[in-house]
Structure 1
Amino acid sequence: MKYNYGFGDKEDDDGHTNDRNDSVAIGKNLRSSYVKFGKDRNQRLSNRNNSLDVPMHIDYIRINFWGQFAVHDYFAKWYEQFGLEVVEVSNFGTTILFAVTETDKFSNFLQSIESVIKNADDHAGRSYSKLIHYIQDFELLTTSDIVLTTDKEGVFIFKLADLMVHNNGLEAILVKLEDYLQQRAITHIINREIGIVEIYSTDALDLTEIVNNFDIVLQVTSGRATLIKPSVFNIPQRDYGFEVADMPNLPLVGIIDSGISINTPLAKLIVVDERLNLTTTSVIEDNVDRGRGHGTTVAALAALGSEAVLREYRGVLTPDCQLLPIKITDAASSFISIARVLEILREAKRSYPQIKIFTLTINFSQNRKYNEHYSSYAYALDKFSFENDCLVFISSGNNANAILRTNGYDLRYFENEEANLCSPAESLNNVTVGACADSLRHGDYVGISNGKEYPTIYSRKGHYRYELLKKKAKINKTLFKPDLVMAGGDYCYRNNSLTDIGEGSMLLLSADSTESFYQSIGTSFATPLAANAAVRIQKRYPDLLASSIKALMLNHCSDKLVEELKENKKMLIGHGCLNGNDVLYSDSNRINFIVEDIIDSGELKIIPLNFPEYLITEKLGKTHGLLKVTATLCYQFLPVKDSQLGYCPVLIGFGFFRNHLGNDILKKEEEVKSKLKGSLTLWSQNCRFKEKPNPFSNVQKISFVVNAKELIDESGVFKIGIHCLTHPQLRPGEDVSYKKDNKFSIAIAVEETVNKKKVTGRLYDEMIAINEVENILTADQDLEAEAS
């Protein structure tokens, strides 16, 4: 299909963005890369321990291109000419890591580099492959490039290379590595699905020796994770003074954390399963933070929501879910095994197939670098959620250093890289939650932020920074993190000094029954509040897809109260703060729709949205802005591990169009004006060129007002168009899984925006009458909802 929004066939004739024809300049530019590459390669050879008898060795070369590399078209050409096989795509398509898999052919690469360098010296006009023109610089992947942690102990995560042509060779190296680890009694876990080896520190472990000799390792990181809150000045409050009501048939939420204490009023909600435990203490013990716990606090907010905090945990509180403790730590700072976390998540899903919502507020301690590739942890969770129709609510991570750097509230601090989120918060299939300054307390706001809807100084921002990419690198403005912000409490001033236990903080349940409650702040508390909103949707509409729950929530987020945040606002607060009531209920003047469907690659679907006649036949006091329409599309996908550009391999986009047929909507806009409004883009995400597109986003949102003239012109019918394309920048054969049956969800909210005196009370009923709508509540559930 040819779409009328610039998704053309090619950006240029040769598949590259910059053809630098000045061979003298090219030769001078590549000279330093060539010299350093030779030195590094000789050093790597000298560091090998031949007595280990590793069956083969592979060099990896990282090439930065002047523009985006067309992987699909040029994969074969670089392999055939230079013996270089694409291993990993980063920097959104401008940096490629190649494996040197054919050494004879690789000599052609080095000879071409030598020729262009010599030509720069003597202008002799030697011949060489013109593919060299597109290289900005290159380097050997060295041991220092691979080992990205300074930790000397704990769990080390080895990211493994994956080849399409020579993968049997890598398998032989992996077998030899496993023998090496077993001979030295080094505990390890190999997970081929995620593409990692996790190695546990012992006296026999020599990281440098492994990386020097086993050429299957692309990256070594630490599994260090943290529960540490923004500060540690918390004090107890009072005894437990509430009980949890008995409620039948509640959904189940998985709390991936430090356990949930059985010695609290939450006891009746806990489903105890000791198989879901990576520690030596019980899942119903929560002893971190000097016995105050962490998972218990998170569980209370997930089950009881903001209402418990607003009521200061008094009286009888109505729960929204049961709680499944999934215990992955019993220390404030520990090391996490990705493979073992994934294993017990799958065990939880096998044992409790109804579970759809999880919370995860334990992040790796190191912040993500700007534009860094997706982590193995994010990949594992994205894959799990796609395969199991689940949502993991992940905190963006706390930044304890922020208040020390600013000693107050300064939004300029977020310009620092250390303010970036922590893995696995970059996950796309799940929901990343940051903290806004609201503490859910009654009375005037007293925190240090500019308002309770603003991001807290300890919250973390998205790690995309497009301005650092090359000028022709692709940008997708719908791709950002976090997804939303929720109340997490704030620092405030008391006795002329900053505190996290004042009126700006949040009241929280303690696992220590002698303390009962404490005050604190953190993204760890914002995250379960978001999960609570999700489980309330699940409770009311149990058959919804996970992507529909996400779409509903993001569709009812607003960033309007933080208008002074202009630049990079989405990277600080995402879609904004959630209106928890609107997401659950329609009323007579506002209606929520959900569209759930599947679409094939190359397909266009058209859905009519019909509006009632009274909007144009009756006097409503105005003709402009009669309605506000807000729509959010979400979908989950099977991620592509080694391609940052193609990590989300499926583009599903949507738009609102005039009352035209599909064939007209597909025509160029100058031929048939299908665009509904001048203020709208034609499609929700524009990924420009087919050969070298932007990265795709699996969340897009559109909002606009409806005027009487538009309803008249279109006979009260707007068309929603949905289209699907497979990413063209995948390695050959990787796109097969995405050609058919891609699921998607669209949440649509329509509300009257006329003067309150003119509100008709007719919108809901009449929209239901003239649109094809299936009620997703059963009769019994409807009665239960009305009773509540």
Structure 2
Amino acid sequence: MPNRKHLRLLSEKQLEKVIPMKFKYGFPQENEDDDEEPKNYFRVAQTLSRDRDRFYKYVAIKNERRNKALNVPHYIDHVLFTFQGQFVISDFFNKYYNDFGLEAVAFYDFGKKGLFAIIDHEKFQVFMNEMYKFIQKELENQTELEYENYVLYIASFELLQIREILKFRLDQMQGLVYLSIMNLPLHEGLKTDILGRLFTYLQEKNIAIKFDESNERLELNNPTPEILQEIVENFDIIESATNSAFTTVRPGEFNTVTREQGVNIVNAEEDLPIIGIIDTGISSTSAIAPLLINDRSFTLNGDPFIDTANFQRNGHGTPVAGLATLGKINHLNQFNENVIADAKALSIKISNGETSYISEIDLVKMLYDVKVKYPQIKIFTLTTCYDRHKTTNETFSDYTFLLDKFAYETDSLIFICTANNNDAINDNSSYDLGYFHSEKTNICTPADSMNNFTVGAAADNIANGPFLGISDGREFPTLFSRKGNVDLSLIFSRNKTNNNYFKPDVIESGGDLGYYNPTSLDYMDDSMIDLISARPEKGLFKDVGTSFATPLIANLAVKIQKQYPELNPQTVKALIINSASLNKVPFDKSVSKLRSRVAGHGYIDNFKSVFSNENSATLILEDVLSDDDLKVYPIHFPQYLTTMDLGKQNRILKITATLCFSFLPIKNNQLSYNPIHIAFSIFKNHEAEDIIKSNIEVDSKLKTTLTWSQNGRYKSKPIPYSNTQKLELIVNVSDLINEENAFKLAVHCLVTDQIIGGLPAGYPSDFPFSLVINIEETTKNKTGLLYDEIQLINNLEVIGNLDTDTTVEIDSLDV
């Protein structure tokens, strides 16, 4: 079956109509107050009474601990509220400031927790007095007392103290420490004064610092625990202090050398795409040396052409670069034939070994420098993560924010591993997906990055022969892979959630654990991957990890880039996710709710990511939306699907569609970190005005279960918005007949107003998006007509010219 190029949907020609979006579509009627007012006032009053007593007690202790000799110009207390429901920033930001003297600083738990600075203590005392009236009325039965209703919105509150600010134990601190500076938009002068005194203090203590002014964070080089404690207790503009210990690879004694191996790369002189390998360096004496870009400019720690990481100095960046540039097939064949490379590699060295403290500020600055020098680089790999897993529903770190911002501003895509869970061996004696219920299996920063691409490990070890891992199959996630840390069911009601909001994005071959004996697990050779060593005399060695699954997806991305260089990175992301499937990864009922959080969108189909064929056409739409836009595009289907005898009437087509877009992230609000809601769906052959009517007025749904990819109806208390969404639709002959062989693709956009201080000045007003639609004929006897016929009746064009040399290689990718 010959490979066919994907098809571009010409948006201007195919677009039928643009209208303002009105939220009348058929979701249940919204009641945004249903989770706000507590039903058991007595219990709430007990909680608030306890919190009130503790608050005053801890304020007194905090004041006693301050070092007045430091002459800090201002002291600011902060209070952390937990609300009964979501805090409506657009309605209450000004009220809390004007009436209660509270300035909102940040929001967590998707809007249910808020951090406020006490700017006016007299006004705040009015707030506390109203709360005390509520406590007296409910606990002391003083029924004559009246209080303001806003008290009922508070579930609990506490003073922000050092234990909430420090994200690590002081007695375990070493290396670099990051101080995240609070946002005080209405009192910038106070912050500037305190920050100036902090700079002087650090200079007096001889602490080397770097100040990332645009992102409001300080990097401190190895402060003592005593100095750090004094900073947090006296300089009231520190929202969080993090100790950035990174881990690149798991420690271990295996990494077995297999044999000396030469690699004959026959196309190293070609003009290939370049992948940026953010890692421990790439050995210039290794088998992939011919693919190295000759540039030593980009390093934080030593020569970027030397890689001594991993056991026996087999390297980490080198095998990652080998997988990224040479891909799955060459590794499957153990390089026994002439090797055709897919990309070249730029070494971006950030570390020398397995664990270190890396300057996030310098790292991100270096990435921007890379893009200035090599603007053609779109794809990067990053297989270093924090060694601490994220807690459930923990907000985005500053590091994640910086990488999301970088991806948006430079039109790039970083492939990031979930990190390995090295405890999985000792915690398990067999393959048990229930292990992922544990919080310790959560991903590590920055794997929660939304603009980039997160990869977990499937058990496949890229080898011919029987599968010898412990997992239930090659496509299943390994126990050392990690799951997404977000569980929206703990925040929202069952009817108010977002099924697209999860990490990782996909899983890919990363090797598996093996049975050391019937009751214990270990890293065993038979289930490991053969990798290129940094030491040329060693040839190949064996290892496993999410670090090695990640560059395989990056390799697939550059295959797409090579075939379709004009596509933007979010389209590449959508193509890969659209090809993924969970069909071969069934989870038992006891763990079924974890499936997406562990396996993402599933295991990849390499061929579908890169090519169409006669019976499977992939359409690519790249377009732009503005706030409140609804765009409608008709998709026409060939007549032969309703007139020819296909052998069956039902399930003749399968449509899989994925939308991806990049956004400029917003700090200090987990809920509105992505303020852009873009959603899509496929509807009946109706007018745009009918599509947005309620189901009672006009039912435009093709299937009762097929609605908008995510819900933007909740405006004052929105669900978190995902920038990656996927839908599937099974089509019967009757569906096509009823709609005269045409469905309507609809995409709409809105920008939330639930942002502290509103959208920043200069925030974008146009939002590009990428939508990939695969239409596959699923009849038993394929007609071979779909690809050609669908072009004749839609505004489509073939993207680029087919390179027959790559056709043979891609054709064998699905292993």
Common fold, TM-score beyond 0.5? Answer: yes
Matches within 5 A, 1:520-539: 520-539=543-562
Distance apart, 1:718 and its partner CA:
0.6
Cross-structure match for 1:253: 275
Corresponding residue of 1:148 = 167
2:742 matched to 1:717?
Answer: yes
Q: Secondary structure at the match of 1:558?
A: coil
| Structure-1 residue corresponding to 2:531 | 508
1:677 to 687, 697, 703: 703
Give the letter for the 1:392 counterpart. Answer: I
Shift of 1:203: 5.2
Tell me which moved more, 608-617 or 464-473: 464-473
* Cα offset, 1:21, TM superposition: 7.3
Q: Kindly report which structure 2 residues correspond to 1:345-360, keeping only aligned pairs within 5 A, or say none.
A: 345-360=367-382
Which of 43, 62, 70 aligns to 1:44? It is 62
How far apart, in 1, do the equivalents of 2:194 and 2:162 lie?
Answer: 17
Specify the SS of the correspondent of 2:177: strand
Q: Do the aligned partners of 1:188 and 1:197 also contact (CA within 8 Å) in 2? A: yes
TM-score, length of structure 2 as denominator length = 0.93
5 Å-filtered alignment, 1:721-736, equals 721-734=746-759
Give, as a single letter, the amino acid of the residue that structure 2 aligns with 1:82: F
Structure 1 segment 472-487 matched on structure 2, within 5 A: 474-487=496-509
Other structure's SS at 2:254 match? coil
The reply to whether residue 701 of structure 1 matches residue 726 of structure 2 is yes
Distance change (3 Å), C-alpha of 1:473 and 1:679: closer
Whether 1:466 and 2:484 are equivalent positions in the alignment is no
Sort the Cα spacing of 1:79 and 1:236 in 2 relative to 1 into closer, same or farther, 3 A.
Answer: same
Q: Give the CA deviation at 1:16.
A: 7.9
Deviating more after overlay: 142-151 vs 109-118: 109-118
Q: Cα offset for 1:783?
A: 6.9
1:226 aligns with 2:247: yes
What amino acid sits opposite 1:265 in the alignment?
A
SS at match of 2:323: helix
The count of residues paired between Structure 1 and Structure 2 equals 780
- Matched residue, 1:190: 211
CA RMSD after TM alignment: 2.0
The one-letter amino acid paired with 1:148 is K
The answer to whether the 8 A contact 1:160-1:218 is kept is yes
Q: Which runs of 5+ in 2 are unaligned?
A: 1-20, 810-815
Alignment equivalent of 2:195, drawn from 174, 189, 196: 174
**Whole-angstrom CA distance in 2 between matches of 1:234 and 1:783:** 37
Which residue in 2 is equivalent to 1:586? Answer: 612
Does the aligned pair in 1 maintain the 2:25–2:691 contact within 8 Å?
Answer: no
Assess, with a 3 A threshold, how the Cα gap between structure 1 residues 579 and 695 changes in structure 2: closer, same or farther: same
- 2:92 alignment partner in structure 1: 74
Deviation of 1:495 (Å): 6.0
Q: Does 1:136 align with 2:155?
A: yes
In structure 2, the partner of 1:4 is: 24
Corresponding position of 1:302: 324
C-alpha deviation, 1:192, in angstroms: 2.6
CA contact (8 A) 2:672 2:720 kept: yes
1:472, distance to aligned residue in structure 2 (A): 7.7
User: Which string of whole-angstrom CA distances, capped at 9 and with x for unpartnered residues, describes residues 381-410 of structure 1?
Assistant: 111101111110000000110110112221
- The match for 1:425 among 447, 457, 482 is 447
Q: Distance in 1 between matches of 2:451 and 2:173?
A: 33
Separation (CA, whole Å) in 2 of partners of 1:468 and 1:605: 34
Q: How far apart, in 2, do the equivalents of 1:584 and 1:230 lie?
A: 36
Match for 2:23: what amino acid? Y
**Which residue of the partner structure matches residue 563 of structure 1?**
586
- Match status 1:59 vs 2:85: no
> How far 1:194 sits from its partner (Å)?
2.6
Partner in structure 1 of residue 655 of structure 2: 629
Q: 1:258-300 CA distances to partner (integer Å, 9 max, x unpaired)?
A: 0000001211211133331111x20000011241110001000
Letter in 2 for 1:519: K
SS at match of 1:567: helix
Q: Residues 634 and 745 of structure 1 are in contact (CA less than 8 Å); yes or no, is this contact kept in structure 2?
A: yes
Amino-acid identity (%): 38
Question: Could you report, residue by residue, the CA deviation over 1:187-222 in whole angstroms, capped at 9, with x for unpaired residues?
Answer: 111113333211111459611000001111111111
CA drift of 1:183 comes to 2.0
**Mapped partners of 2:367, 2:495: distance in 1:** 37
In structure 2, relative to structure 1, the CA distance for the partners of 1:203 and 1:675 (3 Å cut) is closer
Give the Cα–Cα distance (whole angstroms) in 2 for the partners of residues 389 and 686 of structure 1: 27
Deviation at 1:786, TM superposition (A): 6.1
Residues 7 and 564 (structure 1), Cα distance of their counterparts in 2 relative to 1, 3 Å cut? closer
TM-score, L = length of structure 1 = 0.96
- Return the offset for 1:116: 2.2
- 2:14 corresponds in structure 1 to none
Aligned partner of 1:445 among 445, 467, 483: 467
Distance in 2 between the 1:101 and 1:7 partners? 41
Which residue in 1 is equivalent to 2:769? 744
1:553 pairs with 2:576: yes
How far apart are 1:375 and its partner, in Å? 1.0
Taking the aligned partners of 2:164 and 2:587, their CA distance within structure 1 comes to 40
Question: Is the 8 Å Cα contact of residues 653 and 722 (structure 1) preserved in structure 2?
Answer: yes
Higher relative contact order (CA 8 A, sep 6+): 2
Aligned equivalents of 1:239, 1:21: Cα separation in 2:
71
- Counterparts of 2:454 and 2:249, CA distance in 1: 18
CA distance in 2, matches of 1:275, 1:138: 50
Aligned to 1:641: 667
Q: Is the 8 A contact 1:16 1:69 kept in 2?
A: no
